[in-house]
Structure formats: structure tokens, C-alpha cells
A and B are shown apart, each in its own frame.
Chain A
Amino acid sequence: MATITMPLAGVRGRQVLVVRFTAAERAAHWVHFVAFSVLLVTGMFIYLPWLHAFAGGAAGEASRLIHRGAAVLFIAAPLVYLVFSPREFLYSLKESFTWGADDVGWLKNAWGYYSQGKLGTMPPQGKYNSGQKLNALTQIISFGLFVITGLIMWFGKGSVPSNVFLASVIVHDLAVIATVLLFMLHLYLVVLHPMMRESITSMFEGTVTRAFAEEHHGKWYSERVLRKREEEFDPLSKK
């Protein structure tokens, strides 16, 4: 595993800032966000019977095209990530699939922590906390399902057996349900939850304060940020 450089990145007020996301990571995140949201809305037109007015006629023609265009963006987002930030991509991918006792502890205490602010109850977390990993994992697995079933429905119409087509519709829907539930949670925590203010600014600016990193991503902060700084620390350097 390649070590990722996470240098301190300046200051905000009296707070020291730490780099959390590279430009490619942020770009991929937002392209994925936009594509996912557009796909969700245009998909809902045919999923929810009370939105059927938008599914047929001219609105239907438009949403069908928009859904396909957004699907291309959706597929492109992780490729942007992989091409422009391969080390972070692989690191994040590995993190999402790495689960241990700290994750169980985190998930158990998450409600108390996020509703009453019970500090100190949460096991230290890596670059992503267990909730973020759960969201990422669901998105990653669903991404595969979305792409496979989506391509079957797009290009396989008439050439795949009926049951394969009908099953694709169901799997596509189940993947929507799984991702939407975690998307709702994710959106709530970063937009509305008072303890997570920096989570969303870090996805715009790429940085978080050291205090936030220590509190929410202690393992990542001490293992990756501090150790890296220590390794690079050279008092005799003329720089």
C-alpha cells in the first residue's frame, strides 16, 4: 500500500488545517452526486405511480434522454477518480471493504453520539467512519448492479430472456432503495447535522481542521497524517 501524503494545509482562523480530499476525489464525488441525483429524479418518474405524469409524453421523452445522459456521467465518475487519483482510489476502495471491531462499536454507539453528543464513546475511525464506509460500500456494490442491469435494459431489450429483463428491473429498484436510504442519511448528516459541518466543507475545499480530524477520524489522523509528517520532518533541512 502506497503511503498517501496528507500534509498540513494552512490555517483557518486559529485552527490548523489538514488535507482530507484531493481535487480528483472531490471532482469524482460531485460528478457522482450530480449524476446520482439526476438519475434518481428521472427514475422516480417511472417508479412512483403518482409521478406518472412526468413519465409519458414529451416529459417522458426528455426524462428518458436525461436518464441516459446522467448514466454516462455516473459511469464516468469513478473513472475520473481512478485515472487522476489512483492511489487514493485504491486506498478508499480497500478501506470500504475493511471492517473490524471498531466498526461494530461505532455503529452501536452512533445513535447516542449523533443524538446526544456522547463524546468519547466512539472507537477511533480511519479516513472514513463506519457510516461513511457503509454508504461507500453500498454505493460501490450498487454501482455494479446499476451498471449491469441498466445496460441490460438499455441495450439488451428484446435480446435477453424476459425473466432476465424483468429481474434487471427489480435489481435496479432494490439497488435504488439501498442507496437512497443511505443517501438520505448521508445528506442529513452533512447538511443538517450540527456536529458534521466540516464534512461538507471538506468536500468543497479539501481540508478539515485538525480538531475535526482528531475527533472524527482519529486513526487516520494519527496513522496517516501525523506519521507522514514525522517521516518528512527534517530539522536539518535548509527549506
Chain B
Amino acid sequence: MKGNTTCTLSELPLGEEAVITGMPKDEYLCSKLVQYGITNKVRIKKVYCAPLSDPCAYLYRGTLISLRNSDAEKIIVSCHKKRNRHN
């Protein structure tokens, strides 16, 4: 696919869907996520955030889950490149 870009899950814009390409190096966090069924190749979408912008809710495999930004930033995802207005 053309124009794919990687970023961390926490940087993923609201409403965007992406595919997980890199799980956290932190083994403990990684095993926790895997137990919830979050692994490489899983499609995940950021759907909404809590009033203080953290944590955010993600939809994957039909399940809604809450992740803190500090945990989500350790997950690498690949998503379509869209209007990159800021830079």
C-alpha cells in the first residue's frame, strides 16, 4: 500500500484505524495486552477520549478498551497517511 506511515498508538488521530506493527518492549505490559487479545496485526481504532484527554478508548476486534496514553505510546501502529497539515 502506498503512503503508509507508522506512529505510536497514542499519536493516532481520533477516529483513525491502524494496524499494530510493534508491541511494547516492556514484557509485563506486552503480556497484559496479549491477554486482552491485543497483538501484532490486530486492527485498532481510537474512538474517543476521556474528558481530561487521557485515557482513550480503542476499538479492536469488536471490543472497546481503555488505555492510558503512557501505555499506548509504547505500541507502534501503521496507518494511512492523511493530510499532514502540521508539518
Partners in one complex: no
